[in-house]
Amino acid sequence: MFFDQIKTIESKFKDILPIVISLGLFWVDDFMLDIEINFVNLENLCDDWGFKENEIIDAHNMLRSTQANLAVLEGKIMIVREKHSKLDHTRRDLVYSGLHP
């Protein structure tokens, strides 16, 4: 959206330039050239911003994926602990009943 607004303003400046030059205001030509250079710089800045935004989104997605994997691993650890606890109780019951050496 912001980039589209910049493009609209740039287009309006380019439309005005021939009129200003035809009126004999040649110094405006240099001014318009400076504006065009600044628009190119601004476009590059917008591109850089977009790339950084994508990097942040990718990092955020990677973080969510890692968090999901961690949650799965924690669930598996919990299941193993529960099974281990049941085995310990069963072993204790066997020892107390005299069925286990």
Q: Tell me how far apart the alpha carbons of residues 62 and 101 are, in angstroms, rounded to a whole number.
A: 51
The pLDDT of residue 58? 92
Residue 59 has pLDDT above 60, yes or no: yes
Residue spans of the domains in the chain: they are: 2-74
Nearest by Cα to 17 from 6, 30, 32: 32
pLDDT 10s digits, 61-101: 999 999 999 999 999 999 999 999 999 998 888 887 876 55
Q: Looking at residue 76, what is its pLDDT?
A: 94
Prediction pTM value: 0.50
Encoding tokens for residue 67? 């968090």
Per this entry, what is the length of the chain? Answer: 101
- Which residue has better confidence, 41 or 73? 73
Q: Is the pLDDT of residue 36 over 90?
A: no
Residue 19 near residue 12, CB atoms below 8 Å: no
Residue 70: phi and psi, rounded to 5, are -65, -40
